[in-house]
Structures are given as structure tokens and as C-alpha cells.
């Protein structure tokens, strides 16, 4: 089960609870943020996201984020810490997250943001493998008297 699949499953559960979700793929977000910066609309974008209950940033570290856009990511992380939930998925091991940032302050901020992240030794491990199994369904034949 991939991290993206689990993120989508969690998003579906949150939506079923009548909460708002915004799913963003980080590899594509760079282009969107560059366009917003050119139009001086990043503040509006951040304000819009602040009203969302859960923001999902998928595939962190898949492609390098432009150094000019890294402060925006930090601002988004800080805003989510103050106002709402953030789910960040990545195939990149946590120990390599610092390498994604040119600025050590930004790198430290992502380390703090990831401090509650699960640390699975195998990125393909199934985090639900040890979950208790639901009770077996009863068949109609089990309810019949002999």
C-alpha cells in the first residue's frame, strides 16, 4: 500500500466527516506557486488554504523544490501548525529531508514538522498490518437452531 493511497483513504474518511480537504502533489505545486508568485497572489492562496481542515502534500522530495519557493512551503507548514491538519507523504527517508533545502532554517523547520511522522524501517511496509482484525461475520446458518 503506497503512502499516496493511504493519504487518499484518510482524505475520504475526513470528507465523510463533513470536513474539508485539499490534496496537493508537491511535484506539480512548484509550477502553481511560481505562477502565484508572479501574480502576487501567494497570500491569497495561503489564506484560502487556512480555511481547509486537512491539507495533504503528496510526494515530498520526489523532485527538488525551487529555492525561491521553499520559504512558501515553510509558511504553509507554519500556518498548518497553527490552524489545521497537515499530512505530508514522502518516499524520501526523513534523514534526507534536510538535503531538499538550501536554507538550514527551512530544513530544521521540516524536521520539526516531521517529528511526529511514523518512522517505518521499510517504506513499503503496511502500517495496518498489526491492526486488530474485525470480528468474523456471522452467517445465517450460524443463527439456525439444530
Average pLDDT, the chain: 76
* Structure confidence at residue 98 (pLDDT): 76
The arithmetic mean of pLDDT across residues 44-69, rounded, is: 87
* pLDDT top residue among 9 and 30: 9
Model pLDDT, residue 17? 94
C-alpha cell at 131: 491492526
Planar angle of CA 84, 11, 56, nearest 5 degrees? 55
User: Angle at Cα 123 formed by Cα 119 and Cα 124, nearest 5°?
Assistant: 135
Region 54-66: what's the mean pLDDT?
A: 86
Helix (H, G, I), strand (E, B) or coil at 42: helix
CA angle in degrees (0–180, nearest 5) for 141-145-146 = 95
Give Cβ neighbours of residue 113 (< 8 Å, ≥ 6 apart).
77, 81, 86, 88
pTM of the model: 0.70
Q: Are strands 85-90 and 54-60 parallel, antiparallel or unpaired?
A: parallel
Polymer length in residues for the chain: 146
**Grid coordinates in use for 143?**
443463527
Whether residue 19 is predicted with pLDDT greater than 90 in this model: the reply is: yes
Q: What is the pLDDT of residues 68-117, one digit of tens each?
A: 778 888 888 888 877 888 898 888 887 777 777 777 777 776 665 555 54
125-134 mean pLDDT: 44
- Which three three-digit cell numbers place residue 26? 508537491
Q: What are the residue boundaries of the structural domains of the chain, listed by start?
A: 3-117
Q: How confident is the model at residue 126 (pLDDT cuts 50, 70, 90)?
A: very low
- What is the CATH code for 3-117? 3.40.50.300
Beta strands in 5-79 (DSSP E): 21-25, 54-60
54: nearest Cα among 91, 93, 7? 7
Amino acid at each position: 500500500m503506497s503512502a499516496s493511497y493511504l493519504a487518499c483513504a484518510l482524505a475520504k474518511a475526513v470528507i465523510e466527516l463533513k470536513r474539508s480537504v485539499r490534496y496537493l502533489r508537491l511535484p506539480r505545486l512548484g509550477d502553481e506557486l511560481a505562477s502565484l508568485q508572479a501574480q502576487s497572489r501567494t497570500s491569497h492562496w495561503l489564506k484560502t488554504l487556512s480555511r481547509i481542515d486537512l491539507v495533504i502534500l503528496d510526494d515530498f522530495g520526489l523532485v527538488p523544490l525551487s529555492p525561491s519557493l521553499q520559504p512558501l512551503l515553510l509558511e504553509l507548514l507554519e500556518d498548518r501548525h497553527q490552524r489545521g491538519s497537515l499530512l505530508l507523504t514522502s518516499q524520501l527517508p526523513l534523514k534526507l529531508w534536510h538535503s531538499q533545502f538550501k536554507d538550514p532554517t527551512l530544513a530544521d523547520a521540516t524536521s520539526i514538522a516531521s517529528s511526529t511522522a511514523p518512522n517505518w524501517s521499510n517504506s513499503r511496509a503496511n502500517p495496518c498490518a498489526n491492526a486488530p482484525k474485525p470480528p468474523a461475520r456471522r452467517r445465517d446458518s450460524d443463527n439456525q437452531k439444530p
